[in-house]
């Protein structure tokens, strides 16, 4: 491997290692690289996940967004829209909540304390969305717990219907507060989908209350869903709950990758949980406030999907990884820059802007082979001793001894509404 390429790869390894070391210094525990825990062999979890994904694919499970989203059966239109060209937008009327879930990531949200006290400026948010993104095809209402302010939730849905009359409207709730009257009022103002959160740590009477609320919703609201994080170690109870959900007749379930939201690590440590290592495929300070993925969550989610297929459950199942949340952000940010320069193209899987890149002594033979094939677009990167070119011409390097890398880039927001292209990773082709 050329020394310039090795140096560039080490630079990104150093970024990852410093990130992990900084969190470990604060007490956060990471798994061994590619494993479910510190005591597992490196790469063991990755191998099991690859095998599970292959089994699911053989059974008809669909893969979207470079594998960040897996689904079988019915899939919510809002989930499709989340990373679609028109997009989806989610709002809150309040950050107040009668629950105190240890994994809640609202604490990471800007102005969290103020929005708990005063409520959220949802009218302004809807107006801005209508002005800047009039083609939105899905609108969601979350919290906090939106049913703590039922009148506001109803007013939100009414206004969303006026501004986005064709949009699919959904609401997220713990389910504790939903009754017949609330379901009737929500349905009357166009709520199409309701997503219930079921907590694995809830006592059985409270879980039964939420399950009963799902049955109430089934009589009023077309699409009743469950959306819950998959916590390692809860497989047995999750299987029981899946059977209960099927008996109620839900339309689908979103199995979410469980995440550490940068606070309350003691609760995660008490349960023996560790953070996935590496936490991201591409290291970056993503805008989504969900935090860091917990090792073993994806593996259990895939096991539950396979179990659901085996049992013949009637509802759709969707595994939504943390990476899938990032895909939505990256598409919104990068798609508009896809034509910025001929060397960079939008990857339709992870929505990053990518270019071919060769280093050091490989530059001259690569340029000659590419030019002979008809490529005319090149960029020199003097700092990295590298040459960039459009990936569409990568085939011209077949048969050469050139080591090809893919430069991974995104649009980094700057001051005053400006943005700049920023390289955030390298992939060996």
Mean pLDDT of 386-410: 96
pLDDT of residue 174: 94
Q: How confident is the model at residue 77 (pLDDT cuts 50, 70, 90)?
A: very high
Mean pLDDT of 320-324: 97
**Residues 425, 427, 429, CA angle at the centre, nearest 5°?**
160
The answer, yes or no, to whether residue 236 has pLDDT greater than 90, is yes
φ/ψ (deg, to 5) at 44: -65, -45
pLDDT of residue 285: 92
SS3 319: strand
> Higher confidence at residue 426 or residue 417?
426
Mean pLDDT of 13-24: 96
- Dist. CA 114–CA 99, nearest whole Å: 18
**213 in Cβ contact with 278 (< 8 Å):** no
Which CATH superfamily does the domain covering 60-262+288-333 fall into? Aldolase class I (3.20.20.70)
Residue found under tokens 């020394």: 3
Residue range 305-316, pLDDT digits in tens: 999 999 999 999
- Dist. CA 381–CA 271, nearest whole Å: 47
pLDDT of residue 290: 83
**Tokens at 175, concatenated:** 């389910």
- Dist. CA 103–CA 229, nearest whole Å: 9
The answer, yes or no, to whether residue 329 has pLDDT greater than 80, is yes
The answer, yes or no, to whether residue 373 has pLDDT greater than 80, is yes
Residue range 50-73, pLDDT digits in tens: 999 999 999 999 999 999 999 999
The answer, yes or no, to whether residue 37 has pLDDT greater than 90, is no
Mean pLDDT of 185-208: 93
- Dist. CA 55–CA 50, nearest whole Å: 9
Mean pLDDT of 103-114: 79
Complete DSSP assignment for 359-381? EGGGHHHHHHHHHHHT----EEE
Mean pLDDT of 191-207: 91
Instruction: Describe the crossing of helices 204-218 and 235-248 by its angle, rounded to 10 degrees.
Output: 30
Q: How confident is the model at residue 418 (pLDDT cuts 50, 70, 90)?
A: confident
Per-domain boundaries in the chain: 3-13+338-428, 60-262+288-333
The answer, yes or no, to whether residue 108 has pLDDT greater than 80, is no
Cβ-count burial 283-321 (b if 16+ within 10 Å, e if not): bbebeebbbbbbbbbbbbbbbbbbbbbeeebebbbbbbb
Average pLDDT, the chain: 94
pLDDT of residue 365: 96
**408 in Cβ contact with 282 (< 8 Å):** yes
Q: How confident is the model at residue 343 (pLDDT cuts 50, 70, 90)?
A: very high
Query: Quick one: the chain helix, strand, coil %, rounded to 5?
Result: 40, 20, 35
User: Over pLDDT 70: what percentage of the chain?
Assistant: 100
Residue range 124-173, pLDDT digits in tens: 999 999 998 888 999 999 989 999 999 999 999 999 999 999 999 999 99
Q: How confident is the model at residue 414 (pLDDT cuts 50, 70, 90)?
A: confident
pLDDT of residue 117: 83
């Amino acid at each position: 491997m050329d020394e310039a390429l090795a140096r560039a790869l080490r630079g990104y390894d150093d970024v990852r290692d410093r990130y992990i070391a900084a969190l470990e210094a604060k007490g956060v525990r990471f798994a061994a690289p590619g494993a479910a825990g510190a005591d597992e062999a490196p790469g063991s979890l990755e191998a099991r996940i690859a095998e599970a994904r292959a089994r699911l694919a053989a059974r008809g499970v669909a893969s979207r967004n470079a594998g960040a989203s897996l689904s079988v059966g019915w899939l919510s239109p809002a989930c499709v829209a989340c990373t679609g060209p028109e997009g989806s937008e989610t709002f809150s009327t309040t950050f107040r909540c009668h629950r105190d879930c240890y994994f809640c990531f609202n604490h990471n949200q800007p102005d969290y304390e103020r929005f708990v006290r005063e409520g959220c400026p949802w009218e302004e948010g809807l107006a801005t969305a209508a002005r800047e993104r009039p083609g939105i095809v899905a609108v969601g209402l979350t919290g906090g717990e939106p049913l703590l302010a039922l009148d506001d939730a109803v007013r939100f849905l009414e206004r969303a219907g006026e501004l986005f009359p064709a949009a699919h409207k959904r609401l997220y709730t713990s389910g504790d507060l939903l009754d017949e009257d609330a379901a009737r009022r929500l349905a009357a103002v166009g709520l199409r989908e309701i997503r219930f959160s079921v907590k694995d740590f809830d006592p059985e009477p409270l879980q039964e209350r939420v399950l009963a609320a799902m049955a109430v919703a089934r009589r009023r609201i077309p699409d009743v869903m469950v959306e819950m994080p998959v916590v390692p170690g809860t497989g047995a109870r999750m299987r029981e709950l899946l059977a209960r959900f099927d008996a109620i007749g839900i339309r689908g379930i979103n199995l979410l990758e469980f995440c550490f939201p940068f606070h309350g690590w003691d609760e995660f440590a008490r349960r023996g949980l560790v953070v996935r290592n590496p936490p991201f495929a591409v290291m970056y300070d993503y805008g989504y406030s969900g935090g860091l993925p917990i090792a073993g969550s994806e593996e259990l989610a895939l096991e539950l999907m396979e179990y659901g297929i085996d049992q013949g459950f009637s509802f759709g199942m969707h595994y939504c990884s943390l990476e899938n949340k990032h895909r939505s952000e990256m598409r919104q940010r990068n798609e508009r820059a896809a034509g910025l320069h001929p060397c960079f193209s939008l990857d339709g899987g992870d929505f990053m802007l990518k270019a071919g890149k060769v280093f050091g002594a490989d530059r001259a033979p690569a340029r000659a082979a590419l030019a002979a094939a008809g490529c005319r677009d090149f960029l020199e990167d003097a700092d990295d001793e590298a040459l960039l070119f459009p990936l569409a011409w990568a085939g011209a390097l077949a048969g050469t001894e050139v080591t090809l890398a893919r430069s991974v880039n995104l649009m980094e927001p700057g001051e005053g509404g400006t943005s700049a292209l920023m390289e955030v990773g390298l992939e060996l082709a």
